Every structure is written in structure tokens, then in C-alpha cells.
Amino acid sequence: MSDGTAKPRAPGFETRAIHAGTPPDPTTGARNMPIYHSTAYVFDSVDHAAALFNLSTFGYIYSRLTNPTVAALEERVASLEDGRGGTACASGHAAQLVAFFPLMSPGDEFLASRRLYGGSITQFGRTFAKFGWKAIFVDSDDPENFARALTPRCKAIFIESIANPGGVVTDIEAVAKIARGVGIPLIVDNTLATPYLCRPFEWGADIVVHSTTKYLCGHGNAMGGVVIDSGRFDWMQNEKFPAMSQPEPAYHGITFHETFGDMAYTMHCHAVGLRDLGPALSPTNASLTLTGIETLPLRMERHVANAAAVAAYLESHPKVAWVSYAGLDSSPYRALARKYAPKGAGAVFTFGLKGGYEAGIKVVEACELFSHLANIGDTRSLILHPASTTHRQLTDEQRQAAGAGPDVVRLSVGLETLDDIIADLDQALA
Ligand SMILES: *Cc1c(COP(=O)(O)O)cnc(C)c1O
């Protein structure tokens, strides 16, 4: 957490990526954050234990709720997003569930962009429906569509900053204004952009979620997710959020907003969400992710440089029909990318071949350096045909709306030598 207690100058992004949340270990002096493989933590006394269970003192009880290695990761990502607090989870999808849990009751609704990672569309549309939570999907290209779709039971709006798979950029500031106008939080999935390229809180978002599985961990070796709260949303402005504004019977009638102030949402995510839903992050994965984040600024710079060069190469290739990359001048999202991600439009994007579906499949299979798999944000270059994999569960219409039609090929451009990346695509296209 970057509470900046009277420091003359806040440390820069690169410094926080390495140091936030991880001072030297006070007992051993270990400079790297130890992996605390402990399920539980000894109480000083019966009174201490009771105070911990009442949430009247901070401390560790049980690693489903909090763990020191996991807490270090929460603090680091919160710092990079300029947020107030964080809740780490076992995956990006777990983070989305935990993010919505304090906001929603059965019968409630929320608005979500149609342009989301396919797994999120399925999670929201099908699985959340079993909790009585209704997702209303909206074409995010015109932010006014969100205003038009609002209902009295809407408790949040959910968008991706740079959307998977097409690299489409959403007008965060415009959507934030609509959410603020009706007193509900804007949740932004910032997975593809990372806080290095885009910081949604600067544009009025209230909550950020990440699949840390992708660029934050960065090496394709650990699942994880995190929910970051800006600490700025006023939970008392209306009656929409009883979990924050009303007494909580399971904790002796405390009111989260009154007791925890700007940490209310983060405390609820831990003390109720993680406690009862249970998707805690393992300390080993937290450690791998902490290490990954240390090089996030360097990696993102190179990811973006390689992606921009690959997009330009593909756009000029005679067999390529179109390229959807917001960093290209030809992209309708170029202006939004300049505003929200001025250091680069990410490194995940899509293209289509003049030969359509058949040609696309052939390119995926002919690549040698690119790995054919369902992930993004790895050091390695990755290639995928979304319609038959990540977006397979969707209807044809949902796939088209999400930018994952039958001819679409998705790339996640890695950190290999640029000439090698282009040479691999060149031979596959040939
Ligand atoms: C991968 C991904 C998710 C889901 O994250 P997991 O860690 O796979 O559960 C959510 N949003 C986006 C944009 C993603 O790319």
C-alpha cells in the first residue's frame, strides 16, 4: 500500500515493483521474501486469539484468510496500481468471484462489456447465474451503451482496459463517469495492460482485478489472481451495498465501513470472501509472482516493442487480411490507446488471413517458435485459435462480438529475439 506517510517523494514504479511489500525478513534478515509454508499461526493468548477472530486486531490466523508471503504480493500489486489494499486469490477467475461477492445479492445485476476474455463471459453469464447474479452484456465501443442498459438492481460495471483477445481499448474514464453517476463501482480487469501500461484508478475506476497468471507473474509458471481496491468508493452513499454498510452478524455485528474505513472492501474480501469461498493463493505461487513482478517494467517494454514490430510486419504481409492491434495507426482504438496506455497497447492481439479459417489453422500448426497453447503473458511467444479454444463455449454471435470469429488468430508476443519471432511467422505464412 502506498500510503506515502509524509515521505518527501514517492518511489518510482520500477522501485516499487522490486521493493513494495518486501522489506528484509525481521527475524532472519532474509532479503528475498521467504515462502511461509505455514497453515496456521500461534496465538499469544486466549484474549489475542479472540481479538483476531473478532477482527479487532490485525494478525495471522489461518492461511485461507492471510499468509505473510501472500500479503507481500497483495501489498506490492496495490502499490503498483496506487490502490489502498489487495486480496490475492488462486486464479484470475477466483479474483473475479471474490471481487463481486461483497457487492452482489441474489437477484442483483451488473453490466459487463461484451469484449471480455471468453472464460469471463462464461463465468458471468452461466456460473454466476446460479448464485442469482445476472450479467447484462453491453457493446463497450460506445460507452453510452452502459448508461442505456442500467437497471435499479445493477451493482457494478465490469470492463477490461485492453480486452482479450483483440487488444481493444475501452474508454475507462467515460464508463467510470456513468458508474459514478448511479453510485456503483467500476471494476476493471487490467490483466492485459498491467499497471505498467495502464492505471485504471487514475481514470476513475474503483476496483481492479488481475489474472496474475499472465504478465505479472510473467513466466507461465504460476496461477494467481488479485483484487485491488482504490479505497475511494463511498459505500454509504446509498443502500445498494449492505455487506459494507450494514452490521455483519458473523462478526458480532460490526459494520465493515464503520470499522475499517477505506479498507472496508479489502477486509470484507478476506474476512468473508476468502473465509467462506476459500480460493486462497498458495505461498509458493505468491513467491513466484513476487519475483516475476520485479522485472515487469523491463519485460513490458520489450513485449510492447516486439508486439508493435510484429503487428506492423503482419499488416504489410500480402496474405494477411486484417490486424487488430490498438498500437497501429489503422486501428479505430489508436486514440484510446494513446490516452490510456501511452507506453504501448500491450502485446496480445489478433489477426485474420485472407484464406479465412483454413489458412488460420494452418498458420497455428506451422509455427515452431510460437507455442500453440491457451495462455498469454509468458516470456515465450504464444499462438492460439480462440474460436476453437478459449472462446469455444460461446455462441457464434458472442464470439463475433468478443472479436473471436472463426478466422481470428491470437498472438501473445514474447521476449525472444524479434528477428526469430518474425522469421517463425514468415515461414508459417509461407
Ligand atoms: C486469463 C484471464 C482471466 C482468468 O484468469 P485465470 O488466472 O486463468 O483464472 C481473466 N481475465 C483475463 C483478461 C485473462 O486473460
Cβ burial of 44 (10 Å; 0-12, 13-18, 19+) is exposed
The closest-lying atom of ligand 1 relative to the alpha carbon of residue 191 is 13
Q: Summarize pLDDT for 281-300 with one digit per residue, the tens.
A: 999 999 999 999 999 999 99
Name 159's bridge partners. 188
Q: How far is the CA of 61 from the centre of ligand 1 (A)?
A: 29
Give the percent of the chain with pLDDT over 90: 87
**The C-alpha cell that represents 214 in the structure block:** 499472465
Instruction: Look at residue 232 and give its three-state secondary structure.
Output: coil
Confidence grade of residue 7 (pLDDT, cut at 50, 70, 90): low
404, pLDDT greater than 90 = no
- The residue to mutate among 213, 289, 376, having the most atoms of ligand 1 within 8 angstroms of its beta carbon, is 213
Distance (Å, rounded) from C-alpha 21 to C-alpha 193?
22
Taking the C-alpha atoms of residue 221 and residue 334, their distance in angstroms, rounded to an integer, is 32
Those residues whose C-beta lies under 8 Å from the C-beta of residue 190, and which sit 6 or more positions away, are: 81, 160, 161, 198, 200, 208, 209, 210
Q: Which residues contact 49 (CB under 8 A, 6 or more apart)?
A: 43
The most confident of the ranges 49-63, 160-174, 287-301 is 287-301
Provide the pLDDT for residue 386: 87
* pLDDT value at 378 more than 80: yes
Ligand 1 atom with the smallest distance to the CA of 212 is 7
How far apart are the CA of 338 and the centre of ligand 1, in A?
24
Q: For a pLDDT cut of 70, what percent of the chain falls above it? A: 98
Band of residue 1 on the pLDDT scale cut at 50, 70, 90: very low
Read off the pLDDT band of 398 (50, 70, 90). Answer: confident
In tens, the pLDDT along 110-145 reads 999 999 998 999 999 999 999 999 999 999 999 999
Q: Find the helix or strand (DSSP H, E) in which 254 lies.
A: strand 254-255
Bridge-based pairing of strands 154-160 and 186-189 is parallel
State whether the beta carbon of 192 lies less than 6 angstroms from ligand 1: yes
Q: How confident is the model at residue 278 (pLDDT cuts 50, 70, 90)?
A: very high
Model pTM score: 0.96
Q: How confident is the model over 220-275, as pLDDT tens digits?
A: 999 999 999 999 999 999 999 999 999 998 888 999 999 999 999 999 999 999 99
